[in-house]
Amino acid sequence: MNILLVSATKQEIEPFLSKIGPAVGNSVFSPHVYKNHNLYVLITGVGISQTSFYLGKYLSSKFDLAINAGICGSFNTHLRLGEVVAVTEDYFADLGAEDDDKFISVSELGLPASYYVKNENPYLPENLKQVRGVTVNTTHGNEDSIRKFSSRIKADVESMEGAAFLWACNQERVKCLQVRAISNYVEKRDRSKWQIGAAVKNLNEVLETIIP
């Protein structure tokens, strides 16, 4: 199989990268062999714009499977810190307009752009819980804005790249999986509560098992 592994940062998938060699270094795109598959690693940088650019450059229908791996925040406190989940539907959550206190999505505005995206060609390992995500340019850390946002979209997790990945894979009709490990709850920002180390460890352990 030809597999594309996409991550915003090298640090999020560093434990997995250390096992597949040769070293990725500062490369954006690098070829490897893993479990007899041709595995290509794409490190996009953080955010929708950079993810979209590099997916536009490197993603094509030649891939049998694309995996987006990273950490995320969770609105859903029933999900455990460190838990690894599959995001099967996502939103470009802040793409729209403000009308005083009301948010109007790009879909409601009738503009030619996507607001909601669902994985149309899912690769879903049985052991992963399926959740709803939102993709934002600014992650939430204010109690008032979190309250307002949660009343608009009932999401489980948030990232800064996921919807762009799913949308691009849908356009190329590539089977895909967005897999995220929860590093923190979405609340007033307090890094002392975050469990980035556990999230990265669990994410990389799952990566080793989900690649067939």
DSSP string, 55-99: HHHH--TT-SEEEEEEEEEES-TTSPTT-EEEEEEEEBTT-EEEE
CATH of 2-210, one of 3.40.50.10490, 3.40.50.1580, 3.40.50.300, 3.20.20.150: 3.40.50.1580
Neighbours of 58 (CB within 10 A): 16
Instruction: Tell me what the pLDDT averaged over the chain comes to.
Output: 94
Tell me the average pLDDT across 171-200.
96
Nearest to 187 by CA among 132, 147, 136, 134: 147
In the chain, domain spans: 2-210
Tell me the average pLDDT across 58-63.
94
Residues 66/175, Cβ–Cβ less than 8 Å: yes
Residues 161 and 71: their CA atoms lie apart, in Å, by 11
Stated length of the chain: 212
The reported pLDDT for the residue numbered 23 is 67
Residues 75 and 58: their CA atoms lie apart, in Å, by 32
**CA distance readout (Å), 84 to 43, 69, 100, 158, 171:** 20, 10, 37, 13, 26
Q: Which two tokens stand for residue 31?
A: 């070829």
The secondary structure of residue 100, as a DSSP letter, is T
Which tens digit of pLDDT belongs to each residue from 5-38?
999 999 999 999 998 876 666 789 999 999 999 9
- Model confidence at 212, pLDDT cuts 50, 70, 90, reads confident
The reported pLDDT for the residue numbered 110 is 92
The secondary structure of residue 122, as a DSSP letter, is B
Residues 99/92, Cβ–Cβ less than 8 Å: no
Its pTM stands at: 0.94
Interacting residues of 57 by C-beta distance below 8 A, sequence separation 6+: none
Residues 129 and 105: their CA atoms lie apart, in Å, by 28
Residues 209 and 190: their CA atoms lie apart, in Å, by 32
